[in-house]
Amino acid sequence: MDGERAAGRSVGLVPTMGFLHEGHASLVDAAVADNDVTVVSIFVNPLQFAPGEDLADYPRDLAADLEVCALHGADLVFHPTVDEMYPEAGMSAVEVGEVARPLEGASRPTHFPGVAAAAARLFGILGACSAYFGEKDFQQLAVVRRMVADLSMPVEVVGCPIVREVDGLALSSRNVYLTAAERAEAPVLHRALRAGAAVVSAGERDPAAVVSLMAGLIGRAVTAELDYAAVVRPDTFATPSLLGGPGHEVRLLVACRFGRARLIDNMAAVSP
């Protein structure tokens, strides 16, 4: 990519683990619109899977992924092996800060260090670029932004809106795990977030009340096993003691298991 940049051409990167859906395609579209050259990486990163998670079963379809990349105008696809990504034996995960500790960090302690290691490796290989991430993985987006800022990497991290099904379910590669009954109930996550955001916008000041409302709605779904519901500041991921102030924004986040599928979702909420 050094030659492209020397010629004054901008570079966009869309990091993915493959099994691309319309959410990924929207990231490619954004990168193509903003940059002269767009690279899509496809790499199922073993460092971000804990023992017992779905690394071996994670859905893969490289031929279909290449079709999506071509259809949406990507210029290059980078599909490295594990040895190519991590040539040094026993390469360590990257230590990340406080923003990575709660929620996903507490539920999956090895996840964000592994994400950060892969992102750092990709950014080092590609060099100066704009990197596009979906807001569905909102805490991941914050972790990558913090790493880039802390290490002064020449990367602009661009967050892109969540893409949803008609019934509100956020697109995810893991949706393929859902049974028919689980798929029918999974949109409860979006409904719970909308209900939480509505009471915040109506003036609710107690974060615990918002969490209780979201958890109660999700708890009505027979196939749902709630991991967490939370209200946090979008920059620090700390839970505020009180919601308030006109225009004060928080982020509502949920994580829930539906059988084999562990799904996450989030939504901004603004006080009146």
- Note the pLDDT tens digit of each residue in 213-227: 999 999 999 999 999
| 16-66 tens-digit pLDDT | 999 999 999 999 999 999 999 999 999 999 999 999 899 999 999 999 999
**Segments forming the whole domain that contains residue 257:** 173-270
Please check whether residues 94 and 218 belong to one and the same domain: no
Please check whether residues 121 and 147 belong to one and the same domain: yes
Q: What is the pTM of this model?
A: 0.95
**Per the residue annotation, which of 24, 72, 111, 190 is the catalytic one?**
24
Please check whether residues 29 and 142 belong to one and the same domain: yes
Please check whether residues 60 and 120 belong to one and the same domain: yes
Q: Count of domains in the chain?
A: 2
Instruction: Map residue 168 onto helix, strand or coil.
Output: coil
Distance of alpha carbon 169 from alpha carbon 216, whole angstroms:
18
Q: At which of 139, 160, 181 does a domain end?
A: 160
In the residue annotation, 111 being an active-site residue is answered as no
Q: At which of 125, 160, 195 does a domain end?
A: 160
Distance of alpha carbon 252 from alpha carbon 207, whole angstroms:
10
| 175-204 tens-digit pLDDT | 999 999 999 999 999 999 999 999 999 999
Q: Which strand ranges, in their side-by-side order, compose the sheet holding 11-16?
A: 76-78, 37-42, 11-16, 129-134, 155-160
